[in-house]
Amino acid sequence: MDGLYEQARIALHQVWRRRWLALGVAWGLCLAGWLAVALIPSKYESTAKVFVQLQSVLPNQIGISAQERASDLTRLRQTIVSTANLEKVVKRTELAQRVSSDRDMAAEVEALRQAIEVTAQQDNLFQISATANVRGFSNAQNARLARDVVRNLLDLFVAPAGGGRDESTQGIAFLDEELKRREGQLQEAEQKRVQFEQRYLGLLPGEGSVESRLAASRAELGNVEGQLVQAQSSLAALRSQLGSTPPTLPGIGGTTGGPVTAQIEALQAQLAQAAARGWTESHPDVIALHAQIARLRPLAARESPNAGGISNPSYVSLKTTIAEKEGQVQAASARRAQLQADMAQLASRQASEPGVAAQQAQLNRDYDVLKRQYDKLVEDREQLRLRNDVQNKTASMTFRVIDPPSLPTIPISPKRPLLLTLVLVAALGAGIGAAFVKGQLQATFPTQGRLAAATGLPVLGTVTEVWTDAKRRLARQRLVWLLGGAGALGGAYAVLMAVEFWQRSTVA
């Protein structure tokens, strides 16, 4: 412990003997360091916080998902620092004074992009910050520049919300033009189908391809032939039954005419029943009865007026049924002949033009493709139009400024008070260190113990320094000078600190 104490006393003595060196080094380093700190431009930062409220009702109803709305926020963050927006900021702030060419504008935009930061603190809370440390600008100008940049960015942050509306309008216009073009193609394809069907398929019933229509025609032909066979069988049975049925019945007085006359009377009785039911003359059954009466009157005129007997109702009913069956047989035969002729004509056309089926398949395929594309475009246009209406008539995003940009009064860098203090401490330490190192380099011995240890010889004694009055006065005068130099160093530090805080007050 005594050795350490002795070493400390020796070190302090060496430094004290070279105190002027320590003071000079401290002054030199302080002047250089303080000048370097003074040359560092002050960087001021201004911040603002914006809360973005996303609409959550109508967007979900029209299919705008949460991912799409999140992408809108990402788009806002990206477009806010786009070159076009930053050029607007440069023109609206004092940076416009530094722009005289396109190259200057590009340099200012790039520097401004590096000084701007948009961060998402939460899902919907954004912080916009900007720094300014332009050389040649005063502290007040840099502070105002940081605030103006954030203010303009805040305006641009809200403005891009309408960008999607322009995109929707352009998208609707594009879809309208595309629909007009597709509509023309669809009409052309439909016209080709109509012409093809008129040429080949108009003869056959049904819908679809040639094969499907031929199959439908064959099925209908089979039904018609079955109906024809059934009607012919029924007609043959009725005629056989009519041959065994007498037209009149013997008995007491009846009509004065023959069986035809009796049949006419029976038909007239049916007309009376039809009138009692309320049927009009335009009723199909009434018209049929009148037609039968008109056909039987010439036959009744040739009958003997005194034929006598009673008309057989069964005979009259069979004659009427036979007439109906004959009509059904004729209609079925005509329909069968028509179907057979149409099928034969189409078969001949297929034989002469074997590519009919392939042509129809190609036409149908082209038409179906165009129709699906057209329907999809119509659906997309209506969806886009609905989104555009929602965006135009409702606010999909609501912006609220939580913390408006304020004028910064304290620079974020450099920390001049701290740097000035560190320079002072470092300079004092460097001065003391220089004095100590110089003391170690000189070939003198501060104590007789050091001399004995270095030479290995015994030291018989030491001669102390004699202080005269003149020497004491000179020492006191030098001490005053030393204290004055040290006090001046401290005063310079105090002045610099005062100037720093005064400059901050002028910015405020």
Q: Among 311, 340, 364, which residue terminates a domain?
A: 311
Answer yes or no: do 399 and 419 share one domain.
no
The SS3 of residue 462 is coil
DSSP strands (E only) in 107-164: 116-120, 125-132
**Which residue range is the domain that position 286 belongs to?**
246-311
Question: Which neighbouring-strand residues pair with 403?
Answer: 49
Amino acid at 247: P
Domain assignment of residue 321, yes or no:
no
Compute the CA torsion angle 97, 102, 103, 108 (nearest 10 deg): 50
Q: Among 403, 423, 449, which residue terminates a domain?
A: 403
Domain assignment of residue 205, yes or no:
no
Give the pLDDT score at 61.
44
Answer yes or no: do 20 and 114 share one domain.
no
Answer yes or no: do 57 and 150 share one domain.
yes
Domain assignment of residue 196, yes or no:
no
The SS3 of residue 199 is helix
Give the pLDDT score at 57.
42
Residues 6+ apart with CB under 8 A from 271: 286, 289, 290, 293
Answer yes or no: do 68 and 159 share one domain.
yes
Give the pLDDT score at 492.
92
DSSP 393-452: HS-SEEEEEEE------S-SB--HHHHHHHHHHHHHHHHHHHHHHHHHHS---SSHHHHH
DSSP 201-258: ITTS-SSS-HHHHHHHHHHHHHHHHHHHHHHHHHHHHHHHHHHTS-SEE--S---SS-
Domain assignment of residue 364, yes or no:
no
Contact 285, 274 (CB under 8 A): yes
Contact 164, 72 (CB under 8 A): yes
DSSP strands (E only) in 255-333: 310-311
Question: Which neighbouring-strand residues pair with 397?
Answer: 54
Domain assignment of residue 349, yes or no:
no
Distance CA 266, CA 314 (A): 11
Answer yes or no: do 94 and 159 share one domain.
yes
Give the angle subtended at the CA of 467 by the CAs of 462 and 470, to the nearest 5°.
155
Give the pLDDT score at 422.
94
Q: pTM to 2 decimals?
A: 0.47
Each residue's pLDDT, cut to its tens digit, for the chain (508 residues) gives 556 766 677 677 777 878 888 889 999 999 999 999 988 888 899 999 888 766 544 444 444 444 554 555 666 667 777 888 889 899 989 888 888 898 999 999 999 988 988 887 776 788 889 999 888 888 888 888 999 999 988 887 665 444 445 556 776 777 777 777 877 877 887 777 777 666 655 444 445 555 666 677 788 888 888 888 888 888 788 777 776 677 766 544 444 456 677 778 778 878 777 777 777 787 777 788 888 888 888 877 766 554 445 667 777 787 788 888 888 888 888 888 887 877 776 666 655 555 555 666 677 677 778 788 888 878 877 777 766 665 555 545 677 788 888 888 888 888 889 999 999 999 999 988 888 888 777 666 666 666 666 677 787 777 676 678 888 888 888 888 988 988 999 999 999 999 888 887 777 6
Q: Among 336, 371, 403, which residue terminates a domain?
A: 403
DSSP 32-81: HHHHHHHHSPPBEEEEEEEEEEEP-SHHHHTT--HHHHHHHHHHHHHHHT
Answer yes or no: do 48 and 113 share one domain.
yes
Residues 6+ apart with CB under 8 A from 41: 133, 134, 135, 137, 142
Distance CA 260, CA 267 (A): 11
Distance CA 404, CA 407 (A): 10
The SS3 of residue 125 is strand
For the record, the structure tokens of 320 come out as 């009427």
Answer yes or no: do 399 and 426 share one domain.
no
In this structure, what DSSP letter does residue 124 have?
Answer: S
For the record, the structure tokens of 422 come out as 């560190």
> Do the bridges between strand 125-132 and strand 116-120 make them parallel or antiparallel, or are there none, so unpaired?
antiparallel
Give the pLDDT score at 254.
46
Domain assignment of residue 103, yes or no:
yes
Answer yes or no: do 149 and 51 share one domain.
yes
Question: Which neighbouring-strand residues pair with 129?
Answer: 47, 117
Contact 259, 315 (CB under 8 A): yes
Give the pLDDT score at 205.
47
Answer yes or no: do 161 and 48 share one domain.
yes
> What does residue 179 show for φ and ψ, rounded to 5 degrees?
-65, -35
Answer yes or no: do 31 and 142 share one domain.
no
Biggest CA–CA distance in the chain, Å, is: 199
User: How far apart, in Å, are the Cα atoms of 404 and each of 53, 227, 320?
Assistant: 17, 92, 102
Give the pLDDT score at 19.
85
In this structure, what DSSP letter does residue 159 have?
Answer: G
Question: Which neighbouring-strand residues pair with 310?
Answer: 249
Total number of domains in the chain: 3
In CATH, what number is assigned to the domain containing residue 129? 3.30.70.1130
The SS3 of residue 466 is coil
Answer yes or no: do 130 and 21 share one domain.
no
Answer yes or no: do 28 and 59 share one domain.
no
Contact 134, 41 (CB under 8 A): yes
Compute the CA torsion angle 223, 229, 232, 233 (nearest 10 deg): -130
Domain assignment of residue 303, yes or no:
yes
Domain assignment of residue 471, yes or no:
yes
Tokens 């900007």 map to which residue? 130
